[in-house]
């Protein structure tokens, strides 16, 4: 019987460590999961690691199985893939996705696990939460057949939004980033690539996912008449200035937020979180998405990995953590 687990904790802003903790025994309606992989949601987890969650958002920002409080010590994360070792017969031995922090073993209610489709490998399933975010963002953007769609920021979420958008008939999807190395990934995903200086203007839909003020300013610049700009970045405690004195009013532009914590209003009457997650997992059957996993590290090295990824100097997309 597994009665100990090891988990990654943010102990203070900019510092993390792996701690041992008692696991307990699963009861009725619970499962014991052994982690196989977890993924680092770099944007949000970097803000958490650096202690940049605003006081006003500390309750709203809590992850489903978070332990501790911001700024720390806190156990935070939501991209875990594991195998059920104890639980109902229909779940034992199944690989599952769970919105759980980085931890070797954990016990959760059965309703918290999402079984992987047979054609989705466990190693790729660490992208599930990011795919779910991208689906919700595209729902908020409401693109149409034939639209010119600009996605600013070729991070993991931006790449996934662009990939989904290319599946809409007749669309011209451009993925824009300051890093020219993203061009090969854009091509693999079926999107055009552009730098800020070469990006096409007069877009029908603009989605911003760069996490920078310059990226959001560019999104306004690319927008056509009465275009909807969907803001998918979360800036934490960073103040952002925007050039609203130019053509912003004349073009009657609209900036709207997208946040995965709630279902997009257009879908809310018919969709719930479980249905949306099932959709996200099914989309992971496409092997092209392996291009988005650009780093891999053993669990024991996670404190060093978080320090590196949170410094802002890394060009990593999704970084996968591997458990023994």
Q: What is the CATH number of the domain that holds 307?
A: 3.90.180.10
Q: What is the CATH number of the domain that holds 242?
A: 3.40.50.720
Round to whole Å and give the CA distance between 312 and 46.
9
- Would 266 be classed as within a structural domain? no
- Domain of 141? 130-257
pLDDT band at 246 (very low <50, low <70, confident <90, very high): confident
- Burial of 129 per CB tally in 10 Å (0-12, 13-18, 19+): buried
220 and 193 in a common domain? yes
Answer whether residue 312 shows pLDDT above 80: no
- Would 117 be classed as within a structural domain? yes
158 and 66 in a common domain? no
Answer whether residue 254 shows pLDDT above 80: yes
pLDDT band at 1 (very low <50, low <70, confident <90, very high): low
Round to whole Å and give the CA distance between 240 and 56.
17
Q: What is the pLDDT of residues 60-86, one digit of tens each?
A: 889 999 999 999 999 999 999 999 999
178 and 162 in a common domain? yes
209 and 105 in a common domain? no
- Would 278 be classed as within a structural domain? no
306 and 252 in a common domain? no
- Would 277 be classed as within a structural domain? no
Which pairs from 176-183 meet CB under 8 Å and 24+ separation?
176/150, 176/151, 176/152, 176/218, 176/222, 177/152, 177/153, 177/210, 179/154, 179/315, 181/315, 182/154
Q: State which of 241, 257, 273 marks the end of a domain.
A: 257
Q: State which of 239, 257, 275 marks the end of a domain.
A: 257
Q: State which of 257, 273, 301 marks the end of a domain.
A: 257
- Average pLDDT, integer, range 290-314: 92
- Would 265 be classed as within a structural domain? no
296 and 202 in a common domain? no
Q: What is the pLDDT of residues 91-150, one digit of tens each?
A: 999 999 999 999 999 999 999 999 999 999 999 999 999 999 999 999 999 999 999 999
- Would 120 be classed as within a structural domain? yes
134 and 99 in a common domain? no
59 and 156 in a common domain? no
- Would 220 be classed as within a structural domain? yes
135 and 97 in a common domain? no
Answer whether residue 300 shows pLDDT above 60: yes
106 and 58 in a common domain? yes
250 and 135 in a common domain? yes
- Count of CB atoms situated within 10 Å of the CB of 246: 12
Answer whether residue 317 shows pLDDT above 80: yes
Question: Strand 30-40 and strand 105-109: pairing?
Answer: antiparallel
Round to whole Å and give the CA distance between 147 and 210.
21
pLDDT of residue 170: 98
136 and 117 in a common domain? no
Write out the two tokens for 243: 């050039």
- Would 270 be classed as within a structural domain? no
Q: What is the pLDDT of residues 262-285, one digit of tens each?
A: 999 999 999 999 999 999 999 999
Please tell me the total count of domains within the chain: 2
């Amino acid at each position: 019987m597994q009665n100990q687990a090891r988990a990654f904790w943010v102990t203070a802003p900019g510092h993390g460590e792996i701690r041992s903790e008692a696991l307990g025994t699963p009861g009725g309606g619970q499962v014991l999961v052994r982690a196989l992989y977890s993924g680092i949601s770099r944007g949000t987890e970097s803000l958490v690691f650096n202690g940049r969650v605003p006081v006003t958002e500390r309750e709203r920002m809590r992850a489903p199985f978070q332990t501790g409080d911001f700024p720390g010590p806190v156990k935070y994360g939501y991209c875990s893939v594991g195998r059920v070792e104890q639980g109902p017969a229909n779940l034992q031995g199944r690989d599952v996705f769970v919105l759980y922090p980085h931890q070797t073993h954990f016990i959760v209610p059965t309703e918290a696990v999402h079984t992987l489709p047979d054609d989705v490998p466990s190693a790729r399933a660490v992208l599930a939460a990011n795919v779910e975010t991208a689906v919700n963002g595209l729902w908020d953007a409401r693109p149409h057949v034939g639209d010119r769609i600009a996605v600013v920021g070729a991070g993991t979420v931006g790449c996934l939004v662009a990939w989904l958008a290319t599946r809409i008939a007749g669309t011209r999807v451009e993925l824009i980033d300051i890093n020219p190395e993203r061009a090969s990934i854009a091509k693999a995903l079926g999107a055009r690539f552009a730098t800020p200086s070469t990006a096409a203007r007069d877009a029908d839909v603009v989605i911003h996912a760069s996490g920078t003020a310059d990226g959001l300013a560019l999104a306004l610049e690319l927008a056509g008449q009465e275009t909807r700009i969907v803001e998918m970045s979360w800036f934490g405690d960073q103040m952002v200035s925007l050039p609203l004195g130019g053509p912003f009013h004349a073009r009657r532009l609209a900036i709207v937020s997208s946040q995965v914590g709630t279902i997009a209003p257009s879908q809310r009457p018919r969709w719930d979180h479980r249905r949306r997650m099932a959709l996200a997992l099914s989309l992971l059957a496409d092997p092209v998405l392996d291009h988005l996993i650009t780093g891999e590290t053993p669990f024991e090295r996670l404190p060093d990995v978080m320090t590196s990824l949170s410094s802002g100097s890394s060009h990593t997309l999704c970084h996968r953590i591997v458990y023994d």
